[in-house]
Amino acid sequence: MTNSKLLLYTFVLLLLHSISFAQQDSINKVNDSLNAAIIKNFNEKLATTETQRVKDSIKKSDLEKQISSLKTTDNLKKEELQKQLEQLNSKEIKRIADKKAQINALRLTAKSYPVIGFFNDTLFTIYNKLGSFSAKDRADAITARIQNLATHYGFTADSLAINEAETTVDLVYKENIIISISENDALWNNTSKLELAKKYHSIITKAIAHYLVETSSTTLTREIAMALGVIFIMFILLFYLIKLFRWTASKIEQEENIKIKGIKIRNFTLFDAKQQVNALLNVNTTIKWLLIILSVYIALPILFGIFPWTKDFAATLFGYILNPLRKIAYGFWNYLPNLITILVILFVFRYVFKAISFLKNEIQKGNLEIPGFYADWANPTYQIIRVIVFAFMVIVIFPYLPGSDSPIFQGVSVFLGFLFTFGSAGSLSNIVAGLILTYMRLFKIGDRVKIGDVTGDIIEKSLLVTRIRTIKNEIISIPNSTVMSSHTINYSSDAPEKGLIIHSTITIGYDVPWKDMHAALIEAALKTEFVLQDPKPFVLQTSLDDFYVSYEINAYIKEPNKQAVIYSNLHQNIQDSCNERQIEIMSPHYRAARDGSKTTIPESYLDPNYQAPPFNINIEKKE
């Protein structure tokens, strides 16, 4: 790949990544904006509700004062005031229920802010604002106050007091308020203000106590000693690990041409001894570095886990390995029912294939006969049915494959189908032609055929091509679509039963009696090897030309694959038979002048006293 193409592909990948990142970022921004709008709307409702609550609280206080100031005899007035007080209580209960319902609706989408402990751990979360402080400002302020508590000498759990104010419950250290818990905080945590205060009190005091223990000189000394021990053990392990693999490398080099002699597959040398040694050394080095990296990777989380400030790093590093393994294990467990289903389907179809194969073998052997179905159709039909059954099996299994319903998986399937359809158009035409040729039974393996201008024996029939070996041992592959569009001559189909008629034409002058020529040609045919005596050879006179007669000898044979040899022997015998009868075989364009010309018959067939005739000269005298 050229540099320009590489830069282009890199640019496209970065563009796609930036688009997807921008889309995701825009989605996150939209979600944050919606969440902010919802929280803002909720806070506005809270402000209105809080104003009404203050008014109702003042009115409730006035009613309670009026009731307490009334005389015992003023029952009617007292009942009226009591009824108003009950209405305010019911209104307060309904107000809290409505607020709780709204909070429950916001619980899944609302953004919370953590209160961070001493070792980057989350102590609890803040959901709502208080006065002019936003939820984030409150969480940051509470975090700073809690971490400042650990600097106070002599801090104890009892020194962090719980004070109930008019609208809040406060956690107070000396004169400093650490956190104020409102009604909304309690509703967000599905509890009361006092119970939530007690819970936060326990969390904060435990966190401070844990921090003081972890940062004591005794603990730090022990943790440093443990860290040094881990580092020492890691270096010892790495030292002996490197030493071990150096030893294995030297042993591999020593075994060259002794136990390590290379890898051969029949007569092909895949690796000689040197190459095999180099390959084993590379594997040895790869394993060594993998074990070194794995050892360091395991040692680092252990080292980080010793100190409380770095425990999160340990969990993160272990998570890089454990989380994928956990996902793989969960994925495998969840996929197990589908896997069992696929195994059952494969088991059933395995025996379906065996049953089809059994029927195919029985038809080929002739043990099972189906009217109108030939034995040589068994194997191609079996191949077709097997492909159809296999395709059906894939369709049945497909919904159980992992990710089969994902758009990416479906898109890849469509793309592969598109490539197969348009990339194999020519191949499909050959496959269809191959199927048609099979059921037309034009020829079989071993038949002598002529397809177009190619003559030879069929040596292979497949769905795509037909291969022919010519009489010159040339292997010619002809696409099945070409076979379908050409005329085919099969010399072998009827030869075993009816015999194949071979024929050859010879031209002889009119001076030779046709009966003598017939006898000579039939005698020559009967002397030829592989020519049948019965039916008897016969001669046809195919034309009477200007200077000669065309005689065609026809003879029956049952060995069509030996036509070249039979024709050669036949022509030899025709020459011998004609020579024995003193019949000259001459070219159609050859004119014999017998005056003074020697005959073309070989001397071995002539009379020993034969002499060429003299020249005859006729002189005519004109007066």
Write phi, then psi, for 593 (nearest 5 degrees): -105, 100
User: Does residue 107 surpass a pLDDT of 70?
Assistant: no
Are the beta carbons of 225 and 260 closer than 8 angstroms? Answer: no
Are the beta carbons of 437 and 453 closer than 8 angstroms? Answer: no
The larger pLDDT score, comparing residue 432 to residue 519, is at 519
Specify the 3-state DSSP secondary structure of 513.
Answer: coil
Handedness of CA 239, 242, 245, 246 (dihedral sign): negative
Report residue 363 CA to chain centroid gap.
38
Q: What is the pLDDT of residue 45?
A: 59
Q: How far apart are the first and last CA of the chain?
A: 102
User: Does residue 22 surpass a pLDDT of 50?
Assistant: no
Are the beta carbons of 60 and 95 closer than 8 angstroms? Answer: no
User: Does residue 347 surpass a pLDDT of 90?
Assistant: yes
E strands present in 237-394:
263-265, 268-271
The larger pLDDT score, comparing residue 86 to residue 122, is at 122
Tens of pLDDT along 194-209? 888 899 889 988 888 8
Specify the 3-state DSSP secondary structure of 216.
Answer: coil
Q: What is the pLDDT of residue 43?
A: 57
Q: What is the pLDDT of residue 236?
A: 93
Tell me the CA distances in angstroms from 340 to 345, 400, 401, 435, one per residue in order: 9, 10, 11, 37
Tens of pLDDT along 293-340? 888 888 888 887 777 777 766 667 777 777 888 888 888 888 888 999
β-strands 500-509, 538-544 pairing: unpaired
Q: What is the pLDDT of residue 399?
A: 84
Two tokens, residue 14: 């970065």
Name the DSSP letter for residue 130: B
Q: How confident is the prediction for the chain on average, in pLDDT?
A: 79
Q: Which residues contact 151 (CB under 8 A, 6 or more apart)?
A: none
Q: What is the pLDDT of residue 70?
A: 66
Confidence tier at 10 by pLDDT (50, 70, 90): very low
Bridge-partner residues for 504, per DSSP? 553
Question: Tokens 């592989």 correspond to what residue?
Answer: 530
Burial of 196 (0-12, 13-18, 19+ CB in 10 A): buried
Write phi, then psi, for 122 (nearest 5 degrees): -90, 120
Name the DSSP letter for residue 444: -
Are the beta carbons of 583 and 512 closer than 8 angstroms? Answer: yes
Q: Which residues contact 155 (CB under 8 A, 6 or more apart)?
A: 149, 173, 208
Percentage, residues of the chain above pLDDT 90: 21
Two tokens, residue 351: 């025996």
Q: What is the pLDDT of residue 601?
A: 73
Confidence tier at 166 by pLDDT (50, 70, 90): confident
- Side-chain-facing half-sphere of 544: CA atoms under 13 Å: 3
Most confident of 125-139, 297-311, 415-429, 582-596: 125-139
Two tokens, residue 190: 């599905």
| Whole-angstrom distance, CA of residue 224 vs CA of residue 307 | 8
Burial of 409 (0-12, 13-18, 19+ CB in 10 A): middle
- At position 196, the amino acid (one-letter code) is L
- At position 470, the amino acid (one-letter code) is T
Tens of pLDDT along 251-271? 988 888 888 887 877 777 777
Specify the 3-state DSSP secondary structure of 115.
Answer: strand
| 573, 579, 583, 587 alpha-carbon torsion, rounded to 10° | 70
